[in-house]
Amino acid sequence: MKLLPFLLLISFVFSLERETIRKQALELIPQMADLRNFPIHVEGRKIKDWILEDAYPEGKLYLRDVPLDNKLLEELIKNANVGELAKDVYVAYGVTLRRTDLKLLPTEAVVHKGNPEIDYNQYSSLDPFVPLIVMHHSKDKEWLFVQSSFMRGWVRKKDVRLISREEFLRLFDIPFLVVLRPELKVGDLIYSMGAMIPYVGDEKESYLVLTPEGKIHRVKKDGLSEGYLAFSEERAKELLESLIGYPYQWGGYYDCSALVKAIFGVFGVELPRNSYQQALMGDGIEVNFKNYEEFKQLLKRLPPYRTLLYMKGHIMIFGGFEGEDVVIYHAVYSITKDNGQRIFPKTVVRNLLEKDALKNLYRRILAVRVLK
DSSP assignments along 22-78, one per residue: HHHHHHH-TT---GGG--SEEEHHHHHHHHHS--PPSS--EETTEE--HHHHHHHHH
Asked if pLDDT for residue 127 goes beyond 60, the answer is: yes
* CATH 3.90.1720.10 domain position(s) in the chain: 233-370
Pairwise CA distance, residues 110 & 63, whole Å: 6
At a CB cut-off of 8 Å and minimum separation 6, what does 30 contact? none
pLDDT at 326: 98
- Mean pLDDT is lowest, of 16-25, 37-46, 287-296, 339-348, for 16-25
Beta carbons within 10 angstroms of residue 349's beta carbon: 19
* CB 223 within 8 Å of CB 184: yes
Asked if pLDDT for residue 8 goes beyond 70, the answer is: no
* CB 260 within 8 Å of CB 278: yes
pLDDT at 12: 35
- List C-alpha distances in Å: 229 to 9, 11, 201: 11, 7, 19
Question: What fold characterizes domain 174-226?
Answer: SH3 type barrels. (2.30.30)
- How far does CA 129 lie from the centroid of its chain? 14
Pairwise CA distance, residues 329 & 149, whole Å: 25
Instruction: Please tell me the pTM assigned to this model.
Output: 0.93
Asked if pLDDT for residue 356 goes beyond 80, the answer is: yes
Asked if pLDDT for residue 4 goes beyond 90, the answer is: no
pLDDT at 45: 97
Pairwise CA distance, residues 112 & 57, whole Å: 9
Terminus-to-terminus CA distance in the chain, angstroms? 38
Domain 31-169 homologous superfamily, CATH: SH3 Domains (2.30.30.40)
Out of 3.90.1720.10, 2.40.50.320, 3.30.420.610, 3.40.190.10, the CATH code matching 233-370 is 3.90.1720.10
* CATH 2.30.30.40 domain position(s) in the chain: 31-169, 174-226
CA angle at 179 for the pair 190 and 132, rounded to the nearest 5°: 65
